[in-house]
Structure 1
Amino acid sequence: MTLFPAEQITDRPDHKRYFIEKLGLSERLMERCLGEALSAGGDYADLYFESVTSTSLGIDESLVKTASQGISVGCGIRVVSGERTGFAFTDDLSSERLLRAARTAALIASGPAKERVSGFSHVDTPSLYPVAGVGSDAEIAAKLALIQRADKAARDFDPRIVQVRAGINDELRRILVAASDGTYASDTQPLARLNVFVIAKDSQSTARGTSGGGGRVTLDFFEGHKSPEHFAREAARTAILQLGAVEAPAGEMEVVLGPGWPGVLLHEAVGHGLEADFNRKKTSAFAGLIGQQVASSKVTVVDNGTIANRRGSLNVDDEGTPTRETVLIENGILKGFLSDKLNARLMGGASTGSGRRESYHHIPMPRMTNTYMLNGDDMPEDIIKSVKRGLYAVNFGGGQVDITNGKFVFSASEAYLIEDGRVTRPVKGATLIGNGPEALKYVSMVGNDLALDEGIGTCGKAGQSVPVGVGMPTIKLDRMTVGGTGQ
């Protein structure tokens, strides 16, 4: 049984050669591991090899407080039999330990084999992000200089800034996926993020501000418009703004969401409910609603893993499937879900390239990449003018959502009153309370100013965290409950 025909593996991209040449793996060993993985029966097996080099630096009060570098190498082996999954991982890539992990996964998922291995088919890897010169190869001094610039810019913004923390994290992740369905794919994935946190204080109150950004980029990204100074000034501006803010009003009112990061509400309140595993198990509020109206006709939502350099983008997902743009809701009609291989097979569909995992320690599951609402036809200024009395939420902090019923609570970190069609006073303590599917039905205006977030999103699900992107244009919701203590 040959999984990897010689004529197809002789033209390997560089990132495949890394695993073959640098880590001492061989195609023959991969064949043996997949054979062992299916030795007790099963429908499918895959090997997920991963190598990650990472760096993290942080300063607090202008002093270096944290500095670390790490290397992680290992392999996760999965066997699927029906709905049952066997999984084992090892950080020792010797043939003995890999074969032992394969046998362990096989025993956990043992069952009658339903199909034979179909052979190997190379997956062409797109090129959505740079590889040469990424952060893990850059000088520590250059990274330290970036966050020192952020520290200085935040302090220079206003004398009321009394504390500044800044940090930068970057990694280079190499993956190789070999599977019994013939998949043989690899990728080299850079990721970098710069963060700034500040505290502002006056005689009356204390306020906090945060900002940051990045993506699948080199450190050169932070020398352009998205400089350390840009993020530092944003964090400081937000904190100073809160010092003069009034308490947010409470009650049901019109709400306008600004472009960009407010798309996190869409991600949490709607996106998770559109992942295939929740719908297959019928635990999502959207289960069984394909083809039905679930939002205003003005709402179209997509998940797109193919946007160059974005934090949530991937050339291939963690099952070796190329990512793509998936329409989830079109003109208010539910069109589909985000699937990995397992849930696609069990639901009679195809993978959308949404199988993601935090590391080789974890099994893949359906996850979002970059999720956002498409542009509408309204001018943002007309949306504001249409509101007699309401809330304009520009930025969000934390939030919670229950995917079984879609109920959510989000705190606004930057928000303003809208009075007689004008943005007036900044408010603090505002929370948005609602139901995701219901809230989208009250979208009456959608702006033409779609923006994606700065590149800060991390999504948690079932104990796993992965980088994601969110976005939306300015939108108006005719009804939403706002929590606050003001009048």
Structure 2
Amino acid sequence: MDPRNYLYRDGALDPDGARILAARHLSPHDDGELYLQYRATESFYFDDGRLKQADYSTDSGFGLRGVSGETTAFSHANEISAAAIDRAAATLSLLDPSAQGPATAPRRTNTHLYTDGDPLSAVPFAKKVALCQEIEAAARARDPRIDQVAVSLAGSWAVVEIVRPDGFVATDIRPLVRLNCQIVMKDGDRRESGSSGFGGRHLYDRLFDRDAWNTMLDEAVHQADTNMRAEAAPAGEMQIALGSGWCGVLLHEAVGHGLEGDFNRKGTSAFSGKIGQRVAAPGVTVVDEGSIADRRGSLTIDDEGTPTGRTVLIEDGILKGYMQDRLNARLMGVEPTGNGRRQSYAHAPMPRMTNTFMLGGNDDPDELVSRVKDGIYAKSFGGGQVDIVSGKFVFGCTEAYRVKNGRILHPVKGATLIGDGPTVLTRVSGIGNDMALDKGVGMCGKGGQSVPAGVGQPTLLIDALTVGGTEAA
């Protein structure tokens, strides 16, 4: 079956009709598109030896956006039909006609970064439940202190089509899967947790790989066991070593959002107006790359039809550019970078990260930790709060260790890292040669919208960062 059949139905809308409607309603404006989407999602939650929840849903609809100058008119509906699109077009009457004609269409691409296959229909319901059950049993067998195991499996399959007034049409088929496990250990009155997961834009078969999910369990159990042995975290300003991979979530939140085009066009980012200036220590190079095959944050095309690619944001400490959607790129006089993203057809696009990470350096990771005279080695983060404009953040560590005179002493709990992204970048004094991306579980929130995203970094040494804890350093 042609996936586009999920978008077009006889008597409602066909591809030629979509192009005619887009031309009729959007040609008078600077930019815009008709965005069509069908999406199927499912999730399983296995806890306490039982399947506690299983959900399956489908939804479809369109978003119609017109742009004139800095003003956007957007409307949407969960009915894909010519009549509904005509009704939605009434919103566009609020816009002034374009003074310079429609913007140029995105360039085309033949690249396919992920399979067109539908992960949901490829594996029977019973087999998915059996996987969750097997993982739960394997987790409990690892340690008698394990008191609770929760396994979650989730997948989605989406068909999107972007139709512009100039006749440009782009289609993308997007799979996404994820497997997570959370472990709770109990010893007397003490209870501690650990979690791990992995996924990406591929089919479920990779999640069924026994070695892969056993590695996930090892990580979750290790984290819970580590926290069972943890002592109270110190407080004060000290040296920090950050682990590779998932610790890039701090970079994503504290720095990445400040490098998105809308904040910089409006002058509200700490990085506004600093292209060509030093904003980080020498050796720090940060990129956003949406074109990595099968990655959770990757897209063949963004939600405006622009092919994704590799955007260098900071190179050797010098600010080189921002992540751009079409609107902000046009107003700033630069090219879009393939970062126009939206949560669904019911949301207008905005500049968003894809896979954002810091490149590796030349330092040995163990040697970097050995340079910590009095501080913390943070290997994993949990929740945090970030002021996107200033980059000020508070991040809680889910796995961290006390380090003195270059020796790792013991795990600590209750440690939070407090600071601001722009300052932290200038305090990087060591960059490991072990750059890694996360395992494929990240979500990014901005402006009320959530989209899947990837993060990454090498082991880093930060000269000084404030640690919130319960004990004096």
TM-score class, shorter-chain normalisation, is over 0.9
Q: Which one-letter code corresponds to 1:52 in the other structure?
A: R
3-state DSSP of counterpart to 1:71: strand
Contact 1:135 / 1:192 at 8 angstroms: preserved in 2?
no
1:30 correspondence with 2:18: yes
The answer on whether the counterparts of 1:49 and 1:74 sit within 8 Å (CA) in structure 2 is: yes
Q: 1:238 to 1:121 in 2, by over 3 A?
A: closer
SS of 2:234's partner is: coil
* Distance in structure 2 (CA, Å) of the matches to 1:216 and 1:290: 33
Deviations, residues 150-183 of structure 1 (Å, cap 9, x unaligned): 2112211211111111110101011000112553
Matched ranges for 1:177-326 at <5 A: 177-224=162-209, 227-326=212-311
Looking at structure 2, the residues matched to 241 and 273 of structure 1 have their Cα atoms a distance apart, in angstroms, of 34
Corresponding residue number in structure 2 for 1:83: 70
Q: Aligned partners of 1:329 and 1:483: how far apart in 2?
A: 29
Distance 2:242 2:106 in 1: 45
Give the aligned partner of residue 56 of structure 1. 43
Q: CA deviation at 1:58?
A: 0.8
Q: 1:242 to 1:255 in 2, by over 3 A?
A: same
Separation in 2 of the partners of 1:81 and 1:133?
Answer: 38
Separation in structure 1 between the aligned mates of residue 324 and residue 114 of structure 2, nearest angstrom: 23
Residue 170 of structure 1 contacts residue 192 of structure 1 at CA under 8 Å; is this kept in 2? Answer: yes
* Cα deviations by residue, 1:299-354 (Å, 9 ceiling, x for unpaired): 00000001111100010000011000000000000100000000001111111000
Residue number in structure 1 paired with 2:433: 448
Q: Compared with structure 1, are the counterparts of its residues 104 and 136 closer, same or farther at alpha carbon in structure 2 (3 Å cutoff)?
A: farther
Q: Does 1:65 align with 2:59?
A: no
One-letter amino acid of the counterpart of residue 396, structure 2: S
CA apart distance, 1:382: 1.0
Q: Distance in 2 between matches of 1:455 and 1:121?
A: 28
Which SS does the other structure have where 2:418 is aligned?
A: strand
In structure 1, distance between residues paired with 2:110 and 2:3: 10
- Pairing of 1:293-372 with structure 2 (within 5 A): 293-372=278-357
TM-score under structure 2 normalisation?
Answer: 0.95
Residue identity matched to 2:349: P
Which position in structure 1 is the counterpart of 2:370? 385
Question: 1:206-254, CA deviations, whole angstroms, 9 ceiling, x for partnerless residues?
Answer: 1121111100011111233763332223222211211110011111111
Aligned to 1:434: 419
Aligned partners of 2:31 and 2:103 also within 8 Å: no
Question: More displaced, 455-464 or 136-145?
Answer: 136-145
> Of 66, 82, 87, which residue of structure 2 is paired with 1:95?
82
Structure 1: unaligned runs, 5 residues or longer: 1-12
Letter in 2 for 1:483: G
Counterpart secondary structure, 1:403:
coil
CA drift at 1:190 = 0.4
* SS state at 1:425 partner: strand
Q: Which moved more, 1:213-222 or 1:13-22?
A: 13-22
Deviates more, 1:226-235 or 1:17-26: 17-26
After superposition, the C-alpha distances for 1:413-462 in whole angstroms (9 at most, x for unaligned) are 00001122122200000000111000111101100000111101000000
CA distance 1:465–1:250, shift in 2 (3 Å): same
The residue aligned with 1:4 is none
SS in structure 2 of the partner of residue 250 of structure 1: strand
Q: Secondary structure at the match of 1:198?
A: strand
For the 8 Å contact 1:77–1:105, the answer to whether it is kept is: no
Percent identical pairs in the alignment equals 48
SS in 1 for 2:141: helix
TM-score for the superposition, normalised by structure 1? 0.93
- Residue of structure 1 aligned with 2:32, choices 40, 45, 63: 45
What is the CA-CA distance between 1:26 and the residue it aligns to?
2.3
Cα distance in structure 2, aligned partners of 1:474 and 1:14? 45
- What's the CA shift for 1:133? 4.9
Deviation (angstroms), 1:122: 7.8
Q: Return the alpha-carbon distance in structure 1 between the equivalents of residues 449 and 354 of structure 2.
A: 14
CA distance in 2, matches of 1:447, 1:118: 43
1:104 and 2:90 correspond: yes
Question: CA 1:122 to 1:404, structure 2 compared with 1: closer, same or farther past 3 Å?
Answer: closer
Q: Distance in 2 between matches of 1:331 and 1:76?
A: 40
Counterpart-to-counterpart distance in 1, 2:323 and 2:211: 31
Tell me which residue corresponds to 1:9. Answer: none
The residue number in structure 1 matching 2:459 is 474
Contact 1:125 1:187 in 2 (8 A): no
- Cα distance, 1:118 vs. partner? 7.8
- 2: CA distance, partners of 1:247 / 1:23: 66
Q: In the alignment, residue 25 of structure 2 is paired with which amino acid?
A: A
Q: Which secondary structure state, in structure 2, belongs to the residue aligned with residue 195 of structure 1? A: strand
Using the TM superposition, give the Cα deviation of residue 47 of structure 1 relative to its aligned residue in structure 2, in angstroms. 0.5
Counterpart in the other structure of 1:425: 410
Could you say what secondary structure the match of 1:337 adopts?
coil
Alpha-carbon distance between aligned partners in 1 of 2:440 and 2:127, rounded to the nearest angstrom:
20
Residue 371 of structure 1, CA deviation: 0.4
1:146 Cα deviation from its structure 2 partner: 1.9
Contact 2:242/2:460 (8 A) holds in 1: yes
Q: CA deviation at 1:14?
A: 5.3
Q: How big is each residue's C-alpha offset from its partner over 1:331-390, in whole Å with a ceiling of 9 and x where there is no partner?
A: 000100000000001111111000000000000000000000001010111111212221
* Paired letter, 2:228: L
In structure 2, C-alpha distance between the alignment counterparts of 1:199 and 1:168, rounded to whole Å: 18
Moved more, 46-55 or 129-138: 129-138
AA matched with 2:51: V
Answer yes or no: is the 8 Å Cα contact 1:60–1:164 preserved in 2: yes
Cα-Cα RMSD = 2.0
- Point out the more displaced range, 435-444 or 231-240: 231-240
Post-superposition offset of 1:149: 2.0
Tell me the equivalent position of 2:129. 144
